[in-house]
Chain A
Amino acid sequence: MLASYKWLCELAGFSPSPKELEEKFTFSGLEVAGVVHRRAEFDNIVIARVVEKESHPDSKKLSLVKVDDGENIWPVVCGASNCPTAGGTVVLAKEGARFGDLVIAPRKVGGYESFGMLCSEEELNLGPESDGIIVLTDIDVPLGTPVVNALDLEDWIFELEVTPNRPDALCHRGLAREICLLYDKPFLPPVPVGAVVASQSVADVVTVEIESTAGCPRYAASIVENVTVKPSPLALRYRLHNLGIRPISNLVDMTNAILMEYGQPLHAFDLDKLSGSKIIVRQAKDGEIMTTLDEVERSFTSEDLLICDADKPVAVAGVMGGLESEVTDDTTRILIECAYFNPSSVRKTSKKLKLSSESSYRFERGVDPNHEPEVLAAANAMVCALSGGQALAGIVDCYKIPIAPVEVMFRPSRYSRMMGHSVPSSEMERILEGLGAKVTPAGENFNVTIPTHRPDMEREIDLIEEVARLTGMNQIEAKLPRIQCHIPQRDNFESIKKAKEVLSALGLMESITYAFVPLTMLQTLGCANEVIAVANPLNAQRATMRTTLLAGLLENLKRTRSRYMDSFAQFEVARTYHPTSETLPCEMVRVSVVLDGYAKQWVSEPERRYDFFDAKGIASQFCQAMAGSAPEFRVPENTAMMHPGRCLSVFLAGREIGILGEIHPGILKELKLPAGAVAFELMLNSLCAQKQIAAAVPLSEFPPMSRDVAVVADEQQDVGPVLEAFSVAGGDLVTGVQLFDVYRGKHVAKGKKSLAFSVQYRSFEKTLTDKEVDMVHQKAVSAICDQFSMQLR
């Protein structure tokens, strides 16, 4: 909402400092987003008179004029076709005047010296466009008077962020009322007078019928005859232009000026284009058609409210008028509509037609249903003044079930309890009355009759808010509340936090990706069987709710590679979304990891790429940290998005919690990524459900002994089971087995591999002798060799 400071002062009856007003507005809930001071731009621009005009010898467009600014006579070259002859009053931009980056200085134009510029309205930003330069008539100021004074141009334009609960602040009268309240002055705005009234009355000319009282509780109208359509005076055009409204003609400008002053949308019909001397307010018939002012043919349904004449629709109620009954230059008789439409009905139609106007914006928020006669009187006065017409007597006013002001009991004690702060009763009364309410004391409390220009106020709490915002909330003392000791509840928060802490401690970077991903990505990953789509996505990239976190992590990987980085180790802990038969889908918290490229290394260490075993190791450590026990890895039945031979299912306490492996090279190829990225994805809730508390084990005080052994096994022999079998075969004395070398080549037959193990032995009871260890070791080795058909090397 743009507001003119000058207009506000006229209505408030006094002039506070603009700076202070800005502050007061902001701290009473009308946030000022910006203020434009219109003054400095008019520096060095003055009123001047043409004293001589000659045509330019070579140019038809240019005139050579001499202008008098009261001190000097200046030669100026003017390019406007309406450049006046001697005696014409013009606006002269002198040396130093600024128009954006252009600074006026003496220069040659068309070969002749020009000391300034004669200005148009557009150049002075007094209006959106202009045909030629400003030629003033009816002005009586000394030559050389700054234009800002001569035309009274100084103003401050406030840009206010009006919240949806404050329709009263969407007009200058409402804001002026607020200003008077903020400065503790009475609000006594001027009453417009001056309508020339004809003898015939409106009711003799037109009748109004409301078929849909729900959509239109009140419809009032006035008529003005013998109007002359012409441009409005500069002052009005300037005012509207400053408020972001395009001046059109005196009649249209009048409706906009009334809108900006009273917050009441009006519509002016050309009465001669309404047939049957009748206004009917009714729901549209399904499929009914009308062309609106913006020249778009629109189709309606029975949900939409239309204003019709005897034959046809002439306006969409509260949204926009029809093209056919529009006021044109030839209009001589107008009917001015001033109605109260149901906010929700206007909103529905406006949303459906995707047509929002200053009018619909205000009706949606609620205009005052009880000020129509006052507004029509002001409109009539204004039309008569601007167009020389005569208003017919009275108005037509169809208002069958009046909307009565709401009455509310206001308890000052409740205010104190709610705000932790007390305000004197007299001050509360002053504030409520300043808002336009009628306040009647009732014991310790007040009966408050809320004015209908404040549809947001309907309960005691709304009055409490008003008192709070107008007394100033910064003075309320801050206190800490008492919080009762209670059983803590933290939902999944702690386990998610721990998962992030563990994975970042394990060397991975946490990533956060969008929950919506391209459907194609899920299809590539084979995770698009059952998905949830966003009904109104921003674009196809953000159209489908993810079913796996790998979608986002692989996008990150792609982006990382495209930015010339070849080391990627990221995780994400977030939700995936899956359809159910219930209203709400199923949301699962998952933990995913993707590793690719080079593992970090020191200067002289050999390069190493992340591989399957990094993923497996991190998954093990992660489960251990989260659940207190190591996971079990099994060969999966369905390898889904993973390389079929490099994939494992992750189990914890016998329950499958996720999958791990090298991402299927086919998928990576489709994503234009090189093969080799590894990943895992686990269900956090399943993981945390298996939580075990850590327990300490006895520690041996005796020294360990170790034995190495090399065996030859089949190339296809898995080593995992061999390692496990060692512990069994070696009994309690085995404390660790490591595979430290795998060798193929000389002295090892084709199709075989040599595996070198180091086995640690240690007793809880004594220092073991070589002999004892040798015996146990040999027995274990031969048992293993038998079990897996391996030969000692």
Chain B
Amino acid sequence: MDPNEIIARLQLLAEQFAGELQNQPTEQAIRDLQAAYLSKKGKLGELQQSLGKVEPAQRKVVGQAFNQAKQAIVQSVSEAIETLVKKAEDVYLNEYFDVTLPGRLPLRGTMHPISIAMYDIVDVFTSMGFDVAEGPEIETDEFNFAKLNFPDDHPARDMQDTLFIEEGKTLLRTHMSPVQIRSLLDRPLPVQVVAPGAVYRRDDDPTHSPMFFQIEGLLVDKGVHFGHLKGVLNTFIHQVFGADVQMRVRPSFFPFTEPSVEVDIQCIYCKGAGCRLCSQTGWIEILGAGMMDPNVLEGVGIDSEVYSGFAFGLGVDRVSMLRYEGISSIKLFYENDPRFLERFWR
């Protein structure tokens, strides 16, 4: 067979391939095209079968022509694929994408703002070495009042409007103080506990909820004095409200502490300048405290000449309202509207 004719046909196939390669949309199509020319039964393969009919002296030349053509095809295929990949990359990098759609939020729950405040406060005290104590919410009159130095028929009882289960016998605890008594009875001295929990009063108006949360704490040991109470409360205030927040005490009265004080912090919104929140005084009352009354200690069998102690109590709802702006009413806490709850996250 005429080697020139073979070479001419080979060239024709090469051109034909180059033409077809231009229009291939995918890498697979290019590879299929390559196979259509280069596989055993492909177009070049078929033509190559005629190589046997060429004069042996000229086979080398024709063979070389085949090799060159094949290499050229392989080369142009890889180039074409590279171009295609590059083009796809360009498209991917330049295509329109709406970044303003909302993020796909992983499901997250929330903790109640009262719980958050409660855990934040308790954490401060436990870090200082206090334990945590609990007690019954339905209490005896004895633990809620009598053991706390509230005599029967004493006007001090009017300070806390009580919800009774059985009048004179059992009631919904009006404060966390009965847990102080239980801790002193149950635990070895020295005792250092905070008692967080729900308390109840017979009050229901825009600023009072019949159920609310308190944390009380106490430390009873030898040599505990009022300066220690101030030190612990100061630390608590700095940790929870900020290191620059000032505190002050005002003498007050609680039956179970003597002396008793109310503790104010500098208004955290106006920093003491006076605003609506602090009724222009620059100060906000946040807790009550005092040295444990000797009657209370003696009532649980502790020698008040040897041991002394302090106690304090604060409203968690109130701390939560101070920490989170916009809680306009204590009632919001107990309505549990999802739109309210979802704002808070510990």
| Residues of A in contact with B (beta carbons under 8 Å apart) | 26-29, 31, 163-166, 343-344, 347-348, 364-365, 417-421, 459, 461-462, 464-465, 468-469, 473-474, 476-486, 488-494, 497, 500-501, 503-516, 532-538, 542, 545, 556, 559-560, 563, 565, 567-571, 574-575, 577, 583-585, 587, 600, 602-603
**In the bound complex, CA of A193 to CA of B296 (Å):** 47
The answer to whether residues A584 and B136 also contact, given A163-B252, A483-B128, A510-B110 and a CB cut-off of 8 A, is: yes
**In the bound complex, CA of A534 to CA of B170 (Å):** 10
Chain A hits for B251, CB < 8 A: 27-29, 465, 468-469, 473
Q: How many whole Å from A599's CB to the nearest CB in chain B? A: 8
Q: How many whole Å from B133's CB to the nearest CB in chain A? A: 6
The answer to whether residues A493 and B341 also contact, given A504-B109, A600-B107 and a CB cut-off of 8 A, is: no
Pick the contact of B232 from A481, A497, A542 — CB < 8 Å?
A: A481
B165 at the interface (CB under 8 A from A): yes
Q: How many whole Å from A110's CB to the nearest CB in chain B? A: 45
| Interface 9-mer from B67-75, B153-161, B321-329 | B153-161
The answer to whether residues A347 and B153 also contact, given A420-B225, A493-B122 and a CB cut-off of 8 A, is: yes
| Chain B 145-180 per-residue mask, 1 if CB under 8 angstroms from chain A, else 0 | 000000111111011000111110110100000000
| Interface 9-mer from B44-52, B196-204, B270-278 | B196-204
B294 at the interface (CB under 8 A from A): yes
Chain A hits for B221, CB < 8 A: 481-482, 484
**In the bound complex, CA of A777 to CA of B285 (Å):** 72
- Contact present for A602 and B170 (CB under 8 Å): no
Closest residue of chain B to A601, judged by CB? B104
B234 at the interface (CB under 8 A from A): yes
Chain A hits for B210, CB < 8 A: 514, 516, 538, 542
B102 at the interface (CB under 8 A from A): yes
- Contact present for A508 and B259 (CB under 8 Å): no
- Contact present for B111 and A512 (CB under 8 Å): no
Chain B hits for A567, CB < 8 A: 338
**In the bound complex, CA of A509 to CA of B200 (Å):** 24
Chain B hits for A490, CB < 8 A: 126, 131-132
Q: Could you pull out 19 A-B pairs where Cβ atoms are within 8 angstroms?
A: A27-B251, A28-B251, A29-B251, A419-B225, A420-B228, A421-B226, A464-B258, A464-B259, A483-B190, A488-B131, A500-B111, A501-B346, A504-B108, A504-B110, A510-B110, A510-B341, A512-B336, A532-B165, A545-B138
B261 at the interface (CB under 8 A from A): yes
Pick the contact of B134 from A492, A532, A603 — CB < 8 Å?
A: A492
Chain A hits for B259, CB < 8 A: 419, 464-465, 468-469, 473
**In the bound complex, CA of A99 to CA of B228 (Å):** 53
Chain A hits for B341, CB < 8 A: 509-511, 570
Chain B hits for A29, CB < 8 A: 250-253
Q: How many whole Å from B261's CB to the nearest CB in chain A? A: 6
Closest residue of chain B to A506, judged by CB? B109
Chain A hits for B25, CB < 8 A: none
Closest 9 CB pairs of A and B: A420-B227, A29-B251, A420-B225, A163-B253, A507-B107, A504-B109, A469-B251, A483-B129, A478-B230
**In the bound complex, CA of A569 to CA of B109 (Å):** 9
> Among residues 238 to 257 in chain B, which have CB atoms less than 8 Å away from a CB atom of chain A?
248-253
Q: How many pairs, one residue from A and one from B, have CB atoms within 8 Å of each other in the complex?
A: 255
Interface centre among B114, B132, B170, B204 (most CB of A within 10 A): B132
**In the bound complex, CA of A571 to CA of B115 (Å):** 13
Closest residue of chain B to A538, judged by CB? B204
Q: How many whole Å from B150's CB to the nearest CB in chain A? A: 10
Chain A hits for B192, CB < 8 A: 483, 486
Closest residue of chain B to A535, judged by CB? B164
- Contact present for B227 and A476 (CB under 8 Å): yes
- Contact present for A559 and B252 (CB under 8 Å): no
List 16 extra interface pairs beyond A567-B338, A585-B138, CB under 8 A.
A29-B252, A348-B153, A418-B225, A461-B293, A468-B259, A483-B219, A484-B221, A491-B133, A497-B119, A504-B111, A516-B163, A538-B202, A560-B337, A569-B109, A571-B109, A587-B136
Q: How many whole Å from A318's CB to the nearest CB in chain B? A: 13
- Contact present for B109 and A164 (CB under 8 Å): no
Q: How many whole Å from A617's CB to the nearest CB in chain B? A: 12
Pick the contact of B190 from A484, A493, A584 — CB < 8 Å?
A: A484
Chain B hits for A468, CB < 8 A: 226, 251, 259
- Contact present for B154 and A164 (CB under 8 Å): yes
B301 at the interface (CB under 8 A from A): no
B35 at the interface (CB under 8 A from A): no
Closest residue of chain B to A456, judged by CB? B253
The answer to whether residues A164 and B159 also contact, given A347-B153, A465-B258, A513-B334 and a CB cut-off of 8 A, is: yes
B139 at the interface (CB under 8 A from A): yes
Pick the contact of B336 from A348, A545, A559, A575 — CB < 8 Å?
A: A559
**In the bound complex, CA of A486 to CA of B226 (Å):** 23
- Contact present for A481 and B226 (CB under 8 Å): no
The answer to whether residues A583 and B170 also contact, given A29-B251, A515-B200 and a CB cut-off of 8 A, is: yes
B76 at the interface (CB under 8 A from A): no
- Contact present for A505 and B258 (CB under 8 Å): no
**In the bound complex, CA of A348 to CA of B128 (Å):** 45
Chain B hits for A600, CB < 8 A: 105, 107
The answer to whether residues A505 and B293 also contact, given A418-B225, A493-B122, A584-B140 and a CB cut-off of 8 A, is: no
Chain B hits for A469, CB < 8 A: 251, 259
The answer to whether residues A500 and B115 also contact, given A417-B225, A481-B228, A584-B139 and a CB cut-off of 8 A, is: yes
Chain A hits for B140, CB < 8 A: 583-584
Q: How many whole Å from B38's CB to the nearest CB in chain A? A: 32
- Contact present for B211 and A515 (CB under 8 Å): yes
Q: How many whole Å from A25's CB to the nearest CB in chain B? A: 10
Chain A hits for B158, CB < 8 A: 164
- Contact present for B109 and A480 (CB under 8 Å): no
**In the bound complex, CA of A491 to CA of B186 (Å):** 12
**In the bound complex, CA of A27 to CA of B262 (Å):** 10
Pick the contact of A419 from B110, B128, B226, B346 — CB < 8 Å?
A: B226
Closest residue of chain B to A585, judged by CB? B138
Chain A hits for B19, CB < 8 A: none
> Among residues 282 to 297 in chain B, which have CB atoms less than 8 Å away from a CB atom of chain A?
291, 293-294
Closest residue of chain A to B164, judged by CB? A535
- Contact present for B196 and A418 (CB under 8 Å): no
B308 at the interface (CB under 8 A from A): yes
**In the bound complex, CA of A664 to CA of B261 (Å):** 53
Closest residue of chain A to B188, judged by CB? A486
Closest residue of chain A to B158, judged by CB? A164
- Contact present for B258 and A510 (CB under 8 Å): no
Chain B hits for A574, CB < 8 A: 198
**In the bound complex, CA of A31 to CA of B223 (Å):** 30
Q: How many whole Å from A348's CB to the nearest CB in chain B? A: 6
**In the bound complex, CA of A492 to CA of B227 (Å):** 31
Pick the contact of B308 from A417, A506, A508 — CB < 8 Å?
A: A417
Chain A hits for B169, CB < 8 A: 583
Q: How many whole Å from A748's CB to the nearest CB in chain B? A: 35
Closest residue of chain B to A604, judged by CB? B101
Chain B hits for A477, CB < 8 A: 227, 230
Chain A hits for B190, CB < 8 A: 483-484, 486
